[in-house]
Structure 1
Amino acid sequence: MGSSTEYSSGDETDMSDSEIEYEEKIYEELKNGNHLYKVSDDAFSCPFFPNKRKRDFLYKELQQHALGVGKCNSQKRTRKDKANHLALAKYLENDVAIDADPLQQATMVDPLADHDHNEIFVWRWIGIIVNIPTEFKDGRYVVESGTKLRDQLIKRGFNPTRVRPLWNYHGHSGTALVDHKEWFGFNNAMSFEKAYEANQHGKRSWQAKNDLKSDLNGWVARADYYNSDAMFGENLRKIGDFRTISDIMEDEARKTQACWLLAI
């Protein structure tokens, strides 16, 4: 298929026949789904990174990483490690890129381009859900598991990684925090917020106490809730901090550069 990535093995990597056979074996394993590489529609991971160094890549970044490790001359990289990454580069080139929509790739380059870079969010992107129906049972308020609510949000396309129910001395508070995946979760988090706003069940409607009924209200946490004395602030401060979009982008750029340097 057509692509700007030039993959090749053989002479450039000075591989023996046994190493080429090993690379082909790993390539077949990747095609058979034996090595997980996809985190979400936007995010990818290297299946050959040590767990303690796992991180997410854009599609093009993962291609560059795989080729960089596979073709590098550093003695820090074993032949097996290089073969693993060459197989990954070949797999991404031959079997995955066809599914990568060019428009989606362009969007993935800067998911924050249309937003005010001085806007402050709780990092990493945390959604807030309120008005969760509760039931009074055995002297305290209870509710269905956070996992069920997470699955419902996934079905709506918001792709949260976790839902954290918030509890107080009465039991379940009827509120929860919704975690989204690091850098790549921004679009999902904003889709979550906009969907509730569109149905007049966003932050402003909740604060105005308009037509609450039994419907959920949701929005993305920003500095006001992070700094609040209420239960939200206490819990948000335990799991994140608040930062401008510019700060987050600079950190992500440094991480990408550091990871690329490790690969060469």
Structure 2
Amino acid sequence: MECSSDESSELSDTDIDDYAEKAYTDLKSGKLVARFGADRFRCPFCPGKKKQDYRYNELLQHAIGVGASNRAAKVKANHQALASHLKTDHADAAGSLPPRQAVALINPPKPVQDQELFVWPWMGILANVPVEQTQRGGAIVMQQLAGYKPIRFNAVHSPDGEYTGFAIVRFNKDWIGFKDALGFHNTYKSHHLGKTDWEASKSDKYMFAWLAKEEDYKADDPVGKFLSENGDLKTVAELQQEMSRKTDTLITSLTSQISAKSKYLMELECKCNQMDLALQRAMEDNDSLDQRYNEEMRKMQSTAREHSLKIFHETDQLRKQLDEKENDIKRRSKQLSEIVAQTDMERRKLENERKKNDGQNDSLNMARIEQEKANEGVRSLVEKHKKEKEAALNKILLLEKQLDEKHQLELDIQQLRGKLEVVKHMEGEGVDVKKRTEELNKDLQDRIDAMEDLEELNQALIIKERMTNDELQDAKKELISGLVDLLGPRSNIGIRRMGQVDEKPFIEACKPKYGAEADTKALEFCSMWQDNLRDANWHPFKIVTRGEKSEQIIDKGDEKLVGLKEELGEEVYKAVTTALVEMNEYNASGSYVVSELWNNKESRKASMGEVVEHILKQWKAKRKR
């Protein structure tokens, strides 16, 4: 909303009331119109607002809020006058409350005496209520009293649980409920069924009823006890003051909220006006830019036409010069043709080299990707192998423990059998041989059962240990196969083919004898001796005993080995005997080469811990790169 001129002309606070009276006179006389229909109103002092139509309650809240805000004095006076006009001259349009409730709130029912004490919440007392009518929450009685809108029925019982014949009906806590309670009281009183009639007759033929008051509340009987536990004594004046106080508090709170929201609305309207103004200026700037753009385009088109004519003129001159130079170019083109032929050959050669390099780069990238995948697979395989090895060690320790327990049980059984034999020979020496024999037999049987159970568990664990060992060997094979491409000959940890003959000594031994054919002859000799190692019928070993231990060693007197040493020398002999020892140790029955993890630095078999540590170091180093 644009800031109107009404707000610019300020009034002093002392003149607000006079100006409000003048505005109220204009509204009442019809000079200013606020109502345009049965439930359609407008604020005559805010013509620029986006929302024009209000309901009665909405416009009244608007007028009260602006009148109580910190706006300009003239604006406050106008809206105060509008609020007075709506309350005084258009109260018939109030729609916030039903008519019956609005009347009840404005004019609460007056009792005979203003200081008379009633039980609140409003309650009615019923006497001589048949016990069958108290069932299902007093549904029959509640239906009979439906015209007075009771909200709850309670039968009154004595402390020992016996029904007293009295019942309590409750009404709403507001003035409407009080009016219904008075109607209930007066109806029964008019039919001579009130409290005084009941006290006079004490008849149980009819049902009597009256409104609960102070004497009922203070009575020393079950009814008085129920009333004191579920209500309080209050006068109508006290309740009216309390409700007025709550209403004033609510009005104050709502007025404060309306004021705050009105102020916020004004701020939003001002911001909206500022945005509209900024948008209008932006549109004006845009129009100005469009005009300047069109002028620049016209200038550019004129310049382009002039430039085109100039270019046409210069083109004619250049065409003449080109004709002159054409002959010169033809002459030179012959010379260039020969150079171009050579250049094409070099270009094709460079293109082939470039394609070859691109193919090598692609291969290297694919190799790098596959290397990373293999690294990840090896790492997971190493971790799995490590866990399986730990599980196998734990099972071996458990087997050793169970073996000790088995030995102890066997020892106990032998001792018990010995004791049993001793007891059998003690008959006649004052010992109850039969009883002692039964005890020893029972103990012996328990030990035998325990040993059998332990034997069954031991067998199960042995089977499990063998399965675990097989899994461990399979995992080791997978680890070796995964590490073949990752571990080089220069790394601390590598893969050694146990039982494979080393070719280098053969090559060195053949060079002096065979010259240019040394490599071919060395391969032939190496292949022949590898076949000899696979021959199951050739076993150049002998058994020697050292102390209590027997072991197999190379038989240096074997004819084949002696002939090899004489023909090719000591180094070739060592290479073959080393391969023999390795094959005998790692695969004596199969006689084929076995891959094994090897510590290249110390020339020995590598432990799984060393392999895992080495691979993790390599993997971390590659990740940092």
Q: TM-score, normalised by structure 2?
A: 0.27
> CA 1:148/1:211 → structure 2, altered by over 3 Å: closer, same or farther?
closer
Say whether residues 1:217 and 2:214 are aligned partners: no
Distance in structure 1 (CA, Å) of the matches to 2:123 and 2:37: 36
SS of 1:145's partner is: helix
Counterpart residue type for residue 113 of structure 2: D
Partner of residue 122, structure 2: 125
**Residue of structure 1 in register with 2:461 after alignment:** none
What does residue 218 of structure 2 align with? 227
Other-structure match for 1:153: 145
Residue 93 of structure 1 deviates from its aligned partner by: 4.2
2 CA distance for matches of 1:3 and 1:172?
Answer: 60
Q: Could you say if the C-alpha distance between residues 246 and 100 of structure 1 is closer, same or farther in structure 2, counting changes exceeding 3 Å?
A: closer
**Residues 145-184 of structure 1: pairs in structure 2 closer than 5 A:** 145-154=137-146, 157-168=147-158, 169-184=160-175
Counterpart in the other structure of 1:42: none
Q: Does 1:189 align with 2:181?
A: yes
1:249 equivalent in alignment to 2:246:
no
Q: Who is 1:240 aligned against?
A: 231
In the TM superposition, residue 263 of structure 1 has moved relative to its aligned partner by: 1.4
Counterpart residue identity of residue 232, structure 2: D
Contact 2:57 2:95 in 1 (8 A): no
Amino acid at match of 2:250: C
Question: Aligned partner of 2:156: which letter?
Answer: L
Aligned ranges 1:67-106 → 2 under 5 Å:
67-68=60-61, 72=65, 93=93, 100=99
CA–CA distance in structure 2, aligned partners of residues 230 and 202 of structure 1: 19
CA contact (8 A) 1:164 1:177 kept: yes
**What does residue 112 of structure 2 align with?**
115
Shift of 1:5: 8.7
Aligned residue identity for 1:256: T
Query: 1:46 — aligned with what?
Result: none
Partner letter of residue 68 of structure 1?
A: Q
Query: 1: CA distance between counterparts of 2:198 and 2:59?
Result: 47
> In structure 1, how many angstroms separate the alpha carbons of the residues matched to 2:103 and 2:213?
27
Q: Aligned partners of 1:204, 1:259: CA distance in 2, in Å?
A: 42
Distance 1:113 1:222, change over 3 A: closer
CA distance, structure 2, for counterparts of residue 220 and residue 65 of structure 1: 40
Distance 1:254 1:107, change over 3 A: closer
Report the CA distance between 1:189 and its aligned residue.
Answer: 0.5
**Cα drift, residue 201 of structure 1:** 0.9
Determine if contact 2:38/2:93 at 8 Å carries over to the other structure. Answer: no
Aligned partner (choices 192, 197, 202) of residue 194 of structure 2: 202
The 2-side partners of 1:3 and 1:174 are apart by 58
Distance 1:114-1:243 versus aligned 2 partners, 3 A rule:
closer
1:52 aligned partner: none
Bigger radius of gyration among the two: 2
TM-score norm. by structure 1 comes to 0.58
Q: Residue 262 of structure 1: CA displacement? A: 2.0
| Contact 2:41–2:59, Cα closer than 8 Å, also in 1 | no
Partner Cα distance (2:182, 2:209) in 1: 11
Distance in 1 between residues matched to 2:59 and 2:166, nearest whole Å = 42
Offset, 1:170: 4.4
Cα distance in 2 between the residues matched to 1:249 and 1:194? 22
Rate the CA distance shift 1:217–1:93 in 2: closer, same or farther, 3 A: same
**Equivalent residue of 1:263, what SS?**
helix
The reply to whether residue 134 of structure 1 matches residue 131 of structure 2 is yes
The residue correspondences of 1:18-33 to structure 2 (distance < 5 A) are: none
Give 5+ residue unaligned stretches, structure 1.
Answer: 28-62, 75-91, 136-140
3-state SS of the aligned residue for 1:177?
strand
What amino acid maps onto 1:263 in structure 2? L
Choose between structure 1 and 2: higher helix proportion. 2
| C-alpha contact (below 8 Å) 1:127/1:221 kept by paired residues | yes
**SS of the counterpart of 1:178?**
strand
CA distance in structure 1 between the partners assigned to 2:231 and 2:162 by the alignment = 24
What SS does structure 1 have at the residue aligned with 2:148? coil
CA deviation profile, 1:142-195 (whole Å, cap 9, x unmatched): 6453244223211xx211121222233344332221111113211111110011
Determine helix, strand or coil for the equivalent of 1:206. helix
Distance 1:158 1:255, change over 3 A: same
1:63-95 deviations in whole A, cap 9, x for unaligned?
A: 869953897479xxxxxxxxxxxxxxxxx9487
Percent identical among aligned pairs is 23
CA contact 2:117–2:213 (8 Å) conserved in 1: yes
C-alpha contact 1:143 1:172 (8 A) present in aligned 2: no
How has the CA–CA distance of structure 1 residues 107 and 232 changed in structure 2, closer, same or farther, with 3 Å as cutoff?
A: same
Q: Which has the higher contact order (CA 8 A, sep 6+)?
A: 1
Residues matched between the structures, number: 196
Q: Contact (CA 8 Å) 1:183, 1:252: kept in 2 or not? A: no
Q: Which residue of 1 aligns with 2:388?
A: none
**Residues 210 and 232 (structure 1), Cα distance of their counterparts in 2 relative to 1, 3 Å cut:** closer
Q: Match of 2:168, SS?
A: strand
8 Å CA contact 1:166, 1:177 repeated in 2: yes
Query: How far apart in 2 are the matches of 1:65 and 1:174?
Result: 53
Q: 1:116–1:245: 8 Å Cα contact kept in structure 2? A: no
